Structure 1
Amino acid sequence: MTDAGPWTGSAWWEHLVRAVPLAGEVARSEVQAGLDAGLDAALMTDGFVMELVSAQLVERVRAQDAAARDAMIALGAELEAGPPVVSEDVVSAYLIHVPSPDQQGGEIADGLGPRVRAALDQDRDHRNEPAVTAFLERLLRAVPALRPLADAERYGYHDEVLAHPFLGDVAERELALLTGGASLEIDDDWTEEDRAEALRLFTSDDPDPAAEVRAVLDLLEAELGADPDVDRLITTAFVEMLPYEDEPGTEIVGLLGPGLRAELAARRDA
């Protein structure tokens, strides 16, 4: 794809652009927008660009764009017939935004070939470990204000909460509550829609927002040591998100209980 600017794509993408021209147009536009926004050109892998394309096309499908729907169906057909050099990352990047069969745009999923459809079904049949599901339920009962974050991370045929992204979002929210939103680093480049969504999910009207922070940390502290799956979730999705001394929200470290503090120290010392 010699006219794609800094991103040239693979030989497979060169074929794809000939087969599905709209995918090429969207790829060039999305890549240029990312570069203009400061994204590292090294991130522009086939899989990364495929996700950008899939996201944009599905957004157009939801706006009743028939050409975008046809392009998504054609992309699925190309992935089904594609040579072995088409990596699983590219297939997954395409599928992540494909609507489920019972959703608007579900005809895209219904039209997938057996190989790509099997990949979709395997991904969408996601289930958390039972202990993780129970932990998430306890967290949401203890801190109901986190439910919008959980709902934003629901996925798949069973409407499961994606545990790691959700708990990472929880860490981001608690830091935002402690810093009055400064840790979100919202600036003039954000769209009004993105700004409104960030404020909805990561801020609070509670007169004592630190009370939520304490409630979350108390529950996480109490949960440590009860189940290895939950421990891995807490340490990788929450503890590793905590700021260093020169970053906004570092005061949260002083609120950690001994178990969380030990986990943080172990990761910083590794």
Structure 2
Amino acid sequence: MTTTTPSVQLVSDLVTRIPEFRGVFDAHVFNQGGVLPHVFFWDVVQDTVRSFLGEDPAAADWRRTLDFLEEQIGRGVLAVDEVIVTSFLNDLPYPHEPGYAIVQELGPVMAAKFGRIRPGG
């Protein structure tokens, strides 16, 4: 019997809820030989910021992604929180980079965690 870790389940749930990530997921699994949540979320950040900036009309709507992640981080599952904080919030643009304004759109739980890990923005 195979047990799915909470962080791998997070990736699976994201792809199920927001199917626009399916192509990125399939390429990730092919290239990595499996699901590496922290690595996968680099692509999620990039696609989300591109969507926020209006650079990729085919990308998943950034609002849906932020809503999903806010919902997930609010569950209090440590492994899920770790992926979202370390590999999503921490990889968002910095104040001098395009797309930084997306941090103003974070839900309350993610905004609080973002403020703790990157107090200077």
* Structure with higher RCO (Cα < 8 A, 6+ apart): 2
In the aligned structure 2, how far is the partner of 1:128 from the partner of 1:244? 37
Displacement of 1:269: 2.8
Q: How does 1:203-218 map to 2 (within 5 A)?
A: 203-205=56-58, 212-218=61-67
Asked whether the equivalents of residues 221 and 259 of structure 1 are also in contact (C-alpha less than 8 Å), the reply is yes
Displacement of 1:245: 2.0
TM-score, normalised to structure 2's length? 0.84
Do residues 171 (structure 1) and 20 (structure 2) align? no
Partner of 1:246: 96
Paired-residue identity, %: 32
> What secondary structure does 2:61 align onto?
helix
Partner of 2:70: 221
> What secondary structure does 1:151 align onto?
helix
Amino acid aligned to 2:69: L
Asked whether the equivalents of residues 129 and 229 of structure 1 are also in contact (C-alpha less than 8 Å), the reply is no
Superposed CA offset, 1:153-188 (max 9, x none): 1133xxx2221111111011111112233xxxxxxx
Partner of 1:189: none
Q: How does 1:73-112 map to 2 (within 5 A)?
A: none
> What secondary structure does 1:175 align onto?
helix
In the aligned structure 1, how far is the partner of 2:26 from the partner of 2:10? 16
Superposed CA offset, 1:224-253 (max 9, x none): 143111110111110011112221001211
In the aligned structure 2, how far is the partner of 1:233 from the partner of 1:142? 17
In the aligned structure 1, how far is the partner of 2:4 from the partner of 2:119? 29
Amino acid aligned to 1:163: P
Amino acid aligned to 1:146: F
Amino acid aligned to 2:57: S
Q: Which runs of 5+ in 1 are unaligned?
A: 1-126, 182-202
Asked whether the equivalents of residues 8 and 36 of structure 2 are also in contact (C-alpha less than 8 Å), the reply is no
Q: Which stretches of structure 1, 4 residues or more, deviate above 4 A after TM superposition?
A: none
> What secondary structure does 1:269 align onto?
coil
Q: Which runs of 5+ in 2 are unaligned?
A: none
Asked whether the equivalents of residues 178 and 249 of structure 1 are also in contact (C-alpha less than 8 Å), the reply is yes
In the aligned structure 1, how far is the partner of 2:70 from the partner of 2:15? 15
In the aligned structure 1, how far is the partner of 2:35 from the partner of 2:119? 31
Displacement of 1:268: 1.2
Displacement of 1:217: 0.5
Do residues 255 (structure 1) and 98 (structure 2) align? no
CA RMSD, aligned part only? 2.2
Q: Which has the larger radius of gyration?
A: 1
Asked whether the equivalents of residues 45 and 88 of structure 2 are also in contact (C-alpha less than 8 Å), the reply is yes
Partner of 1:133: 8
Pick one of 24, 31, 35 that aligns with 1:161: 35
The total of aligned residue pairs comes to 116
In the aligned structure 1, how far is the partner of 2:4 from the partner of 2:99? 31
